[in-house]
Amino acid sequence: MSVSIRTPLTFRDVPPGVGLEAALALKRPAVIATLRAADLRGRGGAGFPTATKWNLAAAAQSKTKYVVCNADEGEPGTFKDRVILNHFPDLVLDGMLIGGYAIGARKGLIYLRGEYTYLRAPLEGILARRRQERRLGRAILGKKGFDFDIEIRMGAGAYVCGEETALIESLEGQRGEPRNRPPFPVDTGFQDQPTIVNNVETLAWVACIFAKGADWFRALGTAKSRGLKIFSVTGDCERPGIYEYPMGLTVGELMQRVGGEGAKAVQIGGAAGRCVPAALFDRTIAFEDIPTGGSIIVFGPQRDMLQVAKNFMEFFVEESCGQCTPCRAGTRKLLGGLELLENGRCSIEYLSELCRLGESISLASKCGLGQSSPKAFLSIIRHFRDELLGRPAPATS
Binding site for another protein (CB under 8 A): 1-4, 73-79, 81-82, 86, 113-119, 153-159, 170-177, 191, 232-236, 240-242, 267, 271, 295, 297, 299, 303, 307-308, 311-312, 314-315, 318-319, 321
- CA angle in degrees (0–180, nearest 5) for 309-311-313: 70
Output 210 or 316, the one with its CB closest to another protein: 316
Least Å distance, CB 371 to another protein, is: 19
Shortest distance in whole angstroms from residue 282 CB to another protein = 24
CA atoms within 13 A on the CB side of 180: 3
Question: Minimum CB separation from another protein for residue 388, in Å?
Answer: 17
* Contact between residue 106 and residue 148 where contact means Cβ atoms under 8 Å apart: yes
Nearest to another protein of 55, 295 (CB atom): 295
* CA triple 20-73-187, angle to 5 deg: 60
Rounded to a whole number of angstroms, the minimum distance from the CB of residue 253 to another protein is 20
Q: Exposure of 52 by Cβ count < 10 A (0-12 exposed, 13-18 middle, 19+ buried)? A: middle
What is the rounded distance in angstroms from the CA atom of residue 379 to the CA atom of residue 376?
Answer: 5
- Please say which residue, 114 or 246, places its beta carbon nearer to another protein: 114
3-state secondary structure 187-253: CCCHHHCCEEEEEHHHHHHHHHHHHHCHHHHHCCECCCCECEEEEEEEECCCCCEEEEEECCEEHHH
Distance in Å, CB of 289 to another protein, minimum: 23
CA 292 to chain centre: 8
Q: Closest distance between another protein and the C-beta of residue 26, in Å? A: 33
Query: Is-cis flag, bond preceding 183, omega within 30?
Result: yes
Q: Strand, coil or helix: what is 76?
A: coil
State in angstroms the smallest separation of the CB of 177 from another protein. Answer: 8
Q: Kindly state the smallest distance separating residue 77's Cβ from another protein, in Å.
A: 5
CA separation, residue 293 to residues 136, 247, 268, 270 (Å): 29, 11, 9, 8
Q: Find the shortest distance in angstroms from Cβ 49 to another protein.
A: 26
Closer CB to another protein, residue 209 or residue 308?
Answer: 308
Q: Which is nearer to another protein, 2 or 61 (CB)?
A: 2
What kind and span of H or E run contains 7? none
Question: What is the rounded CA–CA span in Å between residue 379 and residue 277?
Answer: 9
**Which 8-state DSSP code applies to residue 276?**
E
Per-residue CA distances from 193 to 68, 164, 186 (Å): 12, 14, 8
Task: Decide: 114 and 127 in contact? Cβ < 8 Å.
Answer: no
Pairing label, strands 284-285, 249-250: antiparallel
